[in-house]
Amino acid sequence: MNIIIKSLFFILGCLALAACQSTGIASGNSVKSSETTREATEYVLGSGDQLRIIVFGEENLSGEFVVDSSGFISMPLIGEVAAGQKSIREFQRSVESKLLDGYLKDPRVSAEVLNFRPYYILGEVTTSGEYPFSNGLTVLNAVATAGGFTYRANTKVVYIKRAGEQNEVQYPLTVSTAVQPGDTIRVAERLF
Amino acid sequence: MFRNLIIPVLVITAMLSAVPASAQALNDSLFKRDRNVSVKERPKPGYTTDGLPMGRFRVQPILNVQTEFNDNIFASDANEQSDTIFVINPIVQAKSDFSRHELIFGGNVNHREFSDIGSESYTNYGANIDGRVDVKRGTYINAGTNYQKSHEERSEAGFANGVLEPIEFEITNFYAEGVHETGRIRASVSGGFGKWNYEDGQLAGGLPADQDFRDRDIIDAGARIDYAISPDTAVFARVRYQDQQYDFVVPGGIDRDQNGYILDVGADFDLTNLVRGEVGVGYVNRKFDAPLTPDFDGLSYTAKFDWFATPLITVSANGARSVNASGLVASPAFVDTTVGVGADYEYRRNVIFSAAYQHSDQKYRGIDRADKRNTLSAGATYLMNRNVGFNAGIVRTSLSSDGALSQSNFGVTQVRIGLTLKR
């Protein structure tokens, strides 16, 4: 009889193991855990962002530009300007310094992001997919955009992989957990 | 053969469709109790099938195959014999997809093949027809009939001692229920007729074991009125009547004909996202035709709760006190007090673990016998995809019987593993 009961527990264990394999959600060694909350920081440009750049008084140098896959913007006269991993202010300064280098005497450059690169959300949300980023977006906003949590969602933590990084990081899910453009947000399953 | 069945189905469908239009149950009903969904009730879109379309019906075939180990197949304390049982259980159901009314046809076969003790093997089968006629908005009639050929488990209270093979019996039922709902009030009346017929068994040495003394007709009737005091709570008053007439009195035995009623009031509710349930308390009365069997009256209660501890864990509890027919020659009925608890845990969408415990106190009328039955079970279900599922489980059943006419005590453990295929 004991053998049978042990066999049954073995079978139940196998069923549980099979269930773990069947969920299809990546987890494990690519996940890092962060105890700190993820607050909104100054926006950093990246590939896919569409910018409007105005050089005051120089209509031929102004216009709408897209950050290419290498993180550069190609502008008239001065050619390629690095934009990736720079804030808007840093980018404005670098355009101004390039124009100062023999092209204009006192260039005044302003830049704004017209279209942010999208973020992605998947896992235990009603409608996973790609959504446009907006300034000040939090994870809860992103979940609401994706139709809300499913009944199995883990609402305590969230996993976020930033654009260009290899690993996703676990963050505590609070009302202020911020989303950056290009983020891949994964809402995991709860266990209980 | 199935084609022969479809033609009358279509005729009945056409008849039902002729009923004047105006829709079924109310969509804004105050008696819906769908705020919470238990683990087992929750739809599983990736793991359910729609069945096969066939005219105005969807046909769902299911095949259950199971291997079971039973450590005491005769439910005996002196002669414990174990065996492995192979079970094959095909089921088919055809359900209409009419916009109004509903018609369901079902059939099932359940064959249990004992590997060592072949005389215990048997095949059960049955069929049912159920329908709903939507008379007008908020008013409908449910009616149906079913037939089931079964074999009595040796652990049953009335099982005939010494028979070589399980006793075969058949049950035929007819029922109808009318429901009318308007605003805060819902009223229903119901009635049913059941016929129980036992086949004779065989004793050692070829002697027959006459079982006709258990044949009986049962008439049920009931009425219930609910009043919704809010969208999630309703109070009700209910009366249920039952009359049982045995085909004959065993020479030297007692007349076991009986009738009685239960009158109770209660409430059903679905409060917040935590609790759903129904509670009824009242009075039960049962009169026996046998002059020496004392009538019974007293407190009646039913209770059923679902506690949604989290969306993934449902804890259930139930309790009831009722009077049931015994199937014994010397006693017409027993008073049954049952309590039970259970829990279901959705580990993954496709993996559910379950555990349950039930205890029954059964006090027999007119004889010195009191039974205590305990059932403890645990199991798991794994749904591989829409068409394939696995299950495994263990059930421990025990009986402790006291009194001058007690049954032998026993404990039975069943361990099973099964496969379900469906379309």
pLDDT value of position A135: 82
Determine what percent of chain B is predicted with pLDDT higher than 70.
Answer: 94
Same domain (yes/no): A145, A164? yes
Same domain (yes/no): A155, A182? yes
Distance in angstroms (rounded) separating the CA atoms of residues B27 and B268: 19
CATH of the domain at A129: 3.10.560.10
Same domain (yes/no): A35, A74? no
The pLDDT of residue B351 is above 70: yes
The pLDDT of residue B8 is above 70: no
pLDDT value of position B75: 92
The pLDDT of residue A74 is above 80: yes
Same domain (yes/no): A37, A71? no
Lowest mean pLDDT among B156-170, B352-366, B391-405: B156-170
pLDDT value of position A10: 55
> What is the mean pLDDT of the segment spanning B160-164?
83
> What is the mean pLDDT of the segment spanning B312-334?
92
> What is the mean pLDDT of the segment spanning B342-365?
96
The nearest CA of chain A is from the CA of B68 a distance in Å of 11
Contact B312 A8 (CB under 8 A): no
Same domain (yes/no): A122, A103? no
Domain membership of residue A144 (yes or no) is: yes
Judge residue A106's burial from the number of C-beta atoms within 10 Å of its C-beta, 0-12 exposed, 13-18 middle, 19 or more buried: exposed
> What is the mean pLDDT of the segment spanning B133-148?
96
Beta bridge pairs of residue B318: B304, B340
The nearest CA of chain B is from the CA of A108 a distance in Å of 58
The pLDDT of residue B398 is above 50: yes
Nearest alpha-carbon partner for B82 in B360, B380, B414:
B414
CATH of the domain at B405: 2.40.170
Average pLDDT, chain B: 91
The pLDDT of residue A151 is above 80: yes
Same domain (yes/no): A36, A121? yes
Contact B415 A8 (CB under 8 A): yes
Average pLDDT, chain A: 84
The pLDDT of residue B241 is above 80: yes
Same domain (yes/no): A31, A63? no
Contacts of B308 in chain A (CB under 8 A): none
Strands B208-209 and B216-230, by their bridges, are: unpaired
Same domain (yes/no): A104, A126? no
Nearest alpha-carbon partner for B131 in B88, B169, B174:
B174
Q: Which of A6, A9, A15 to mutate to test the interface with B (most CBs of B within 10 A)?
A: A15
Amino acid identity of residue A153, one-letter, is A
Beta bridge pairs of residue B181: B186
Domain ranges, residue B268: 2-422
Is B356's Cβ below 8 Å from some Cβ in A? no
Q: How many domains does chain B have?
A: 1
Same domain (yes/no): A92, A181? no
Reading the block at residue A132, the tokens are 């446009």
pLDDT category of residue A117 using cuts at 50, 70 and 90: confident
Q: Which residues contact B228 (CB under 8 A, 6 or more apart)?
A: B30, B31, B184, B185, B186, B234
Nearest alpha-carbon partner for A73 in A50, A102, A54, A90:
A50
Which of A4, A19, A23 is the closest to B382 by Cβ? A19
A131 close to A146: Cβ distance less than 8 angstroms: yes
Contact B413 A189 (CB under 8 A): no
Distance in angstroms (rounded) separating the CA atoms of residues A129 and B213: 68
The pLDDT of residue A1 is above 90: no
> What is the mean pLDDT of the segment spanning B72-82?
91
Contacts of B71 in chain A (CB under 8 A): 1
Contact B380 A151 (CB under 8 A): no
The pLDDT of residue A64 is above 80: yes
Same domain (yes/no): A37, A131? yes
pLDDT value of position A28: 39
The pLDDT of residue A127 is above 70: yes
Higher pLDDT, A21 or B391: B391
Domain membership of residue A80 (yes or no) is: yes
pLDDT value of position B2: 38
Domain membership of residue A8 (yes or no) is: no
The pLDDT of residue A13 is above 60: no
Domain ranges, residue A163: 26-41+117-187
Strands B258-271 and B275-288, by their bridges, are: antiparallel
Determine what percent of chain B is predicted with pLDDT higher than 90.
Answer: 76
pLDDT value of position A52: 95
Instruction: Count CA atoms closer than 13 A to A58's CA, side-chain side.
Output: 19
Is A152's Cβ below 8 Å from some Cβ in B? yes
Higher pLDDT, B77 or B17: B77
> What is the mean pLDDT of the segment spanning B283-291?
93
Domain membership of residue A6 (yes or no) is: no
Query: Of A115, A150, A166, which residue constitutes the final position of a domain?
Result: A115
Lowest mean pLDDT among A147-161, B84-98, B152-166: B152-166
CATH of the domain at A79: 3.30.1950.10
Is A29's Cβ below 8 Å from some Cβ in B? no
Q: Which residues contact B121 (CB under 8 A, 6 or more apart)?
A: B111, B112, B113, B114
Q: How many domains does chain A have?
A: 2
A158 close to A170: Cβ distance less than 8 angstroms: yes
Higher pLDDT, B6 or B306: B306
B11: phi then psi, degrees, rounded to nearest 5: -65, -45
Task: Map tokens 């235990």 to a residue.
Answer: A124
Q: How far from chain centre, in Å, is Cα B26?
A: 27
Contact A23 B348 (CB under 8 A): yes
Same domain (yes/no): A33, A57? no
pLDDT value of position B29: 87
Reading the block at residue B370, the tokens are 């009191």
Domain membership of residue A21 (yes or no) is: no
pLDDT category of residue B329 using cuts at 50, 70 and 90: confident
A157 close to A188: Cβ distance less than 8 angstroms: yes
Reading the block at residue B305, the tokens are 């709760």
Q: Which of B67, B348, B377, B391 to mutate to test the interface with A (most CBs of A within 10 A)?
A: B348
Reading the block at residue A173, the tokens are 């899910």
With CA atoms as reference, the chain A residue closest to B413 would be: A1
Which of B310, B346, B382 is the closest to A15 by Cβ? B382
Higher pLDDT, A37 or B122: B122
Same domain (yes/no): A30, A124? yes
Is A5's Cβ below 8 Å from some Cβ in B? yes
- pLDDT, tens digit, 9 for 90 and up, residues B182-204: 989 999 999 999 999 999 998 88
Contacts of A25 in chain B (CB under 8 A): none
Is B3's Cβ below 8 Å from some Cβ in A? no
- pLDDT, tens digit, 9 for 90 and up, residues A42-56: 788 888 889 999 999
Contact A18 B69 (CB under 8 A): no
Domain membership of residue A121 (yes or no) is: yes
pLDDT value of position B159: 77
pLDDT category of residue B3 using cuts at 50, 70 and 90: very low
- pLDDT, tens digit, 9 for 90 and up, residues A176-187: 999 988 899 999
Which of B69, B390, B415 is the closest to A15 by Cβ? B390
Q: Is B36 helix (H, G, I), strand (E, B) or coil?
A: coil
Domain membership of residue A182 (yes or no) is: yes
Q: Is the complex ipTM higher than 0.85?
A: no
Nearest alpha-carbon partner for A140 in A161, A162, A171:
A171
Which of B312, B384, B390 is the closest to A192 by Cβ? B312
The pLDDT of residue B27 is above 90: no
Q: Is the pTM of this model over 0.80?
A: yes
